[in-house]
Amino acid sequence: MSRWQRTHEQLSQAALELFTEHGYEATGTAQIAQRAGVSEMTLFRHFPTKEALLLTDPFDPVMAKAVRERPEEEAPMQALTAGIGQVWHTIDDDALRTLRGRLRIIARAPALRGAIERNSEASASALTAALEDRGVDRPQAHVAAAAVIAGLSAALQTWAMTEDADLQHTLASALAVLAGE
């Protein structure tokens, strides 16, 4: 792991810990930088905003790659749901705990209302590009990607706020609905 990657991870972890301990609104970027052992300037080199500490999505490029690699004959919604389903089955338990924690912080912070929707544009863009690479016209690719991201966001938010919900079951159900099954 490079120095940049280590610092990025330390900042992300420090933010998650402090947001969990004190709440999103009560935690400042200077506190996060101090906990991570870096300057506030370094924090902003890694994350352009405080909100970005929670919303940076490492799954977008992986999901887009999985969609690109789906069989050519699959319809756009099939390629999206199958590719995304493949990716979610590979995510380890630590990453899932982190994701649940992030989503809970977002759901509980009034300042972050709408944050997931704002951030979803990056995910939709990555998936739109993947579909375009498969030969899907941009308007149709955008509609399909936006629909899948909206559905996944709703499923993930429900999962995050429900103690006994199983992510794999929640996502499989959501992806089945999105695939028209």
CATH 2.60.260.20 fits 3-52, yes or no: no
Among candidates 108, 122, 116, 97, which has minimal Cα distance to 155? 116
Q: What is the pLDDT of residue 63?
A: 92
Distance in angstroms (rounded) separating the CA atoms of residues 143 and 145: 6
Q: Where in the chain is the domain with CATH 1.10.10.60?
A: 3-52
Tens of pLDDT along 120-155?
A: 888 899 999 999 999 999 999 999 999 999 999 889
Evaluate if residue 69 carries a pLDDT over 80. yes
For the chain, give the percent of residues with pLDDT over 70. 100
The answer to whether the pTM exceeds 0.85 is no
Distance in angstroms (rounded) separating the CA atoms of residues 12 and 54: 8
Residue 20 buriedness (CB in 10 A; 0-12 / 13-18 / 19+): middle
Distance in angstroms (rounded) separating the CA atoms of residues 44 and 67: 32
Quick one: how many helices (H) and strands (E) in the chain? Answer: 10, 0
Beta-carbon count within 10 A of 85 CB: 19
Evaluate if residue 25 carries a pLDDT over 90. yes
Q: Where in the chain is the domain with CATH 1.10.357.10?
A: 57-178
Distance in angstroms (rounded) separating the CA atoms of residues 137 and 21: 46
Among candidates 2, 42, 165, 50, which has minimal Cα distance to 99? 165
Q: For domain 57-178, give the CATH number.
A: 1.10.357.10
Among candidates 14, 17, 46, 53, which has minimal Cα distance to 32? 14
